[in-house]
Amino acid sequence: MRSFLLLAFIAFVCFPQSVFSHTYLSSVVINGEKLVEGDCVRPHPALAYDYPIPLVTSPDMTCGWLPSAAQPANRKCGISAGSSIGIQWHHSSTDPSDDIIAATHLGPCLVYLARSDDGAGPVWFKIFEQGFSNGAWCVSNLIANKGLLTVTIPSDIAPGNYLLRGEIIALHGANVLNGVQPYVGCVELTISGSGTAKPAGVAIPGAYSASDPGMLFNLYNVFTSYIIPGPAVYKANSSPSSPTTKPTVKPTTAPVNPTTPPVNLLLLPPTPPAPPLNLLLLLLNPPQLPL
């Protein structure tokens, strides 16, 4: 208990706002029914369950923090190809007053599927992405929708057991290498239907680099576009033989005075940078201090 209190105090002193501003994949909505928290969802660690993955090349990027996320869910949820599934994100609880994620943690939302039990290798194909559009980020839309993100399962994919991978990429610290904050969670599904498509996929980790334009991005510059990381979204009945890549154009940016962020960020409270990796590891593996 003393070690936990010591670590909690260190976390609060070092990054008081960041420690209370994260998010995690909490539950799913299938056939209009919101399931209880954790049902069909891969486990989260008991401590720091809502923390971002510190490196985009980490094995934790597959389904979340290991070893917890490598454990199977309590069951697989059944769903039909072509139907919709809701992915519910929360900051700390399922309470209606939960703030989902800090409003400063702007960035895209992505959803992948893999016809796999462990997510290893080039098995992940993207079925949804939303970045910066019409002046708003997906995270802002997610907060407005109380953390619920609804996506459609491709109608043509072959039936079987799948992992659904939800991801939020927070960019408030992404102006420096490895400052980006991905939040990841997986859901276990059994998808039914008469489709035969087995879309080509990418490996996660492996699909992202810390220097990708969508991972190394300055929110505090003026910009008009943003390149979402990873492959293009798979469209039903397209069945590419290899993952479709995106154009390599860079977003339009114009430098501004670093002390004067855009107006939309001036309205938000400042957010400290991501916690250092060694402190994250310390939180996940607290030392045993003498009583």
Q: 50 lies in which domain range? A: 22-280
28 pLDDT band, cuts 50/70/90, is very high
- How many domains does the chain contain in total? 1
Residue 197 near residue 235 (C-beta atoms within 8 A): no
User: In this predicted model, what pLDDT tens digit does every residue of 54-84 receive, in sequence order?
Assistant: 999 999 999 999 999 999 999 999 999 999 9
Query: pLDDT tens-digit profile of 7-26?
Result: 333 333 333 334 446 999 99
Classify residue 289: in a domain, yes or no.
no
**pTM recorded for the entire structure:** 0.79
Q: φ and ψ at 51, to 5 degrees?
A: -90, 150
Look at the block and give the residue holding tokens 């590419």.
240
More confident of the two residues 48 and 159: 159
pLDDT at 260: 33
Greater model confidence, 138 or 264: 138
The verdict on residue 140 lying in a domain is yes
* Phi, psi angles (nearest 5°) of residue 35: -80, 160
16 within some domain: no
| 67: preceding bond cis by omega (within 30 degrees) | yes
Mean pLDDT of the 242-263 span: 42
- Determine, yes or no, domain membership for 286: no
Mean pLDDT, residues 137-161: 97
Q: The domain spanning residue 273 has which CATH number? A: 2.70.50.70
Q: What percent of the chain has pLDDT over 70?
A: 75
